[in-house]
Structure 1
Amino acid sequence: MYYLAAYLLKIILSLFGRINVYQKENAAIPGGFVIACTHTGWVDILWLGVSMLPKKIHYMAKKELFQSKLLKWLMERLNAFPVDRENPGPSTIKVPRRLLAEQKVVGIFPSGTRTSEEVPLKRGAVTIAGHAKVPIVPVAYKGPNNFTDLFKRIKPSIIYGKPIYISEHLPRKQAMEEMMVQLNQELSNLQNRLDELN
């Protein structure tokens, strides 16, 4: 179901303009890892999944999207799993840690709320990657954000940054703080790089 939906989406989205994908080789790493992508609308979620093909992404999604039977059915077939953003607890990282242990890719939008402004990153991506001892691949997106933007034929672009690994030479708390700083800086750098390329 995932591949059917993803390749169908690729065809549909390409009707509005083909995407430029830069530095995808940075995601060609063995084993499981976390993808942390900038988030400005629902279209970036779709393009991120399409750009990663044939690799699958397992998305963290807010639990509200699973309340409708139809949406729950669709989200599960797109490899999404629910998370309670208001009351995160130990169970929040249980599913992504299992997926990463199975050498799968977990997609997280660390800014949380969709926004075009720079906002402080939430800690989910770093917490999960740190506990699972896997790298984070930072990704920035620029392009249409919603249904209306698609018809404006705004050119979409995605750029992959180099994997960020947690330091093994620092205490865990300090290493995760350092990883957080690196991720924040790299996402900003990648967004600026996209502005230069387009």
Structure 2
Amino acid sequence: MYYIIAYLLKIFLRIFGRIDVYNKQVLPSNGPYVIACTHTGWVDVIYLGTTLLPSRIHYMAKKQLFDNKLFSWLLKKLNAFPVDRENPGPSVLKIPNRLLSKGEIVGIFPSGTRTHEQIALKQGAITIAQRSNVPIVPVAYKGPNNLKELFSRKKPYLIFGEPIYITSKDKEERLYFTNFLEQTLTNLEKEISNNS
């Protein structure tokens, strides 16, 4: 079901123009790894997923998105799993760690929310990569964020950064790499702006 929906969405997006993708060659040839992407709307999720095809991404998504039964069914078919951001429990780490142990790719939007503002990244993405001993790939997106912007043919861009390898499991290193990831994503966003 994942591939059917993903390829249909890819065809749908192509109606509005081709996405420019930079540095995709830096991606590991296969999983496991964590992919951390900037998040400004629901469209970036779809562009990221279709760009990585035939690789599949398992997305962390806020639990409120699963309240609607039909939408919950669709999200689960697209390999999304719910996370309670306000009261994070063991599943916040357990589910992604289990997926990574099976060689899967886990997608995280480390800002924790859809926003255009510069906010401190949460440590979740780094913690998961650190615990599972896998690289984390930073990705920045610029482009349409909703149907109106899609229909206006706003140009989409994705840029991948070099994989980040967490070299230690202590808390100080976690903070360092959280800040490093935040700065890397900022730099990637600037690079997109310069290329667009």
Q: TM-score, normalised by structure 2?
A: 0.97
Please tell me whether the aligned partners of residues 164 and 182 of structure 1 are also in contact (alpha carbons under 8 angstroms): no
- Alignment partner of 2:12: what SS? helix
Partners of 1:154 and 1:116 in 2: CA distance: 16
Q: Counterpart of 1:68 in structure 2: which amino acid?
A: N
* RMSD across aligned positions (CA): 1.1
Secondary structure in 2 matching 1:176:
helix
Q: CA deviation at 1:48?
A: 0.4
SS of 2:140's equivalent in the other structure is strand
For residues 182 and 133 of structure 1, the distance between their equivalents in structure 2, rounded to whole angstroms, comes to: 17
Give the whole-Å Cα distance in 2 for the aligned partners of 1:192 and 1:2: 32
Cross-structure match for 2:123: 123
2:194 aligns with 196
Aligned AA (2:190): N
Structure 1: tracts of 5 or more residues without a match: none
| Shift in Å, 1:163 | 0.4
Q: Which moved more, 1:21-30 or 1:60-69?
A: 21-30
C-alpha displacement of 1:151:
1.1
Cα offsets for 1:55-113 (capped at 9, x unmatched): 00000011111122111111110000010011012221100000000010000001111
Query: 1:164-175 alignment to 2 at 5 Å?
Result: 164-168=164-168, 172-175=170-173
Matches within 5 A, 1:143-154: 143-154=143-154
Deviates more, 1:171-180 or 1:39-48: 171-180
Q: Contact conserved, 1:143 with 1:157, CA < 8 A, in 2?
A: yes
Listed as ranges, the matches of 1:78-89 within 5 Å are 78-89=78-89
Query: Structure 1 residue runs of 4+, over 2 Å off?
Result: 28-31
SS at match of 1:110: coil
Contact 1:165/1:179, CA 8 A, preserved across alignment: no
| Percent of pairs with identical residues | 58
Q: Indicate whether 1:99 and 2:99 are aligned.
A: yes
Deviation at 1:160, TM superposition (A): 0.4
CA deviations 1:145-186 (Å, max 9, x no partner) are 111101111110000000001114xx5112212211210111
Partner of 2:179: 181
Provide the rounded CA distance (Å) in 1 between the counterparts of 2:28 and 2:129: 17
Residues 46-125 of structure 1 correspond to what in structure 2 (within 5 A)?
46-125=46-125
Q: Is the 8 A contact 1:26 1:162 kept in 2?
A: yes
Tell me, in whole angstroms, the C-alpha distance in 1 between the residues paired with 2:109 and 2:30.
22
Report if aligned partners of 2:56, 2:105 keep a CA contact under 8 Å in 1.
Answer: yes
Amino acid at match of 1:12: F
Secondary structure at the counterpart of residue 6 of structure 1: helix
The residue aligned with 1:32 is 32
Range with greater deviation from structure 2 (37-46 or 109-118): 109-118
Counting matched residue pairs gives 196
Structure 2 unaligned regions, length at least 5: none
Contact 2:33–2:134 at 8 Å: present in 1 too? Answer: yes
